[in-house]
Chain A
């Protein structure tokens, strides 16, 4: 199975800050990487697919990059509504697996 490891596990930042979350796959997964946002008490919601393609309707302050084994999710200017847990997930093989999540809070 491919293990997905995110860092940090949690972070606290101020509104307007640039936030970066990293995700590392235990094997090469090309660009078969998605990012999901889960706000407190809600279901997850797809933000980015194919490592860097922003889903329609997602604010442009979100961006993704990387390929192979190392990926990043960046929020260019953190907003209050971005408080959530963010998960990376690979779509390269079975079983599909997720990272453990990164909780983002406002300082």
Chain B
């Protein structure tokens, strides 16, 4: 089955760090741009970051630049999002998504809660 599965979400204090991971199965993740998209509770979708298949190009939404880092390990068919200096406004479900803008496969999401 073609799917993406996220992990690593949880409760973190403001200013803290968290690393999200995403594993792909049923397809070759290394052939695709990959993205993270988030959704706050009851709110809409916000693209966060994407990364080129070879990892040489990364793009971020302004609100996370300098705080979040997207990376990939093609040998392990995996994607990561390292988040630091977390704020309450980063609280959301984070989706791992196949595509750099043509989002054609979504994971089920992992919840990140930033709260003291």
Which residues of A does B touch, CB under 8 Å? 32, 34, 36, 42-46, 49, 55, 87, 89, 91, 94-101
What's the A-B contact tally at a CB cutoff of 8 Å?
A: 48
B45 within 8 A of A: yes
Residues of B whose CB lies within 8 Å of any CB of A are 35, 44-47, 50, 59, 61-62, 95, 101-109
Least CB distance, A5 to chain B, in whole angstroms: 12
Q: A34-B103, A44-B95, A87-B44 given. 7 additional CB < 8 A pairs?
A: A44-B103, A44-B106, A45-B106, A49-B104, A55-B104, A96-B35, A101-B45
B44–A49 touching, CB < 8 Å: no
A34-B102, A43-B106, A43-B109 given as contacts; is B95 within 8 A of A98 (CB)?
A: no
* A97: nearest chain-B partner, CB-CB: B47
Q: A43-B107, A46-B103, A91-B101 are in contact. Are A96 and B47 (CB under 8 A)?
A: yes
Residues of A within 8 A of B95 (CB): 43-44
A94 to B64, CA, bound (A): 14
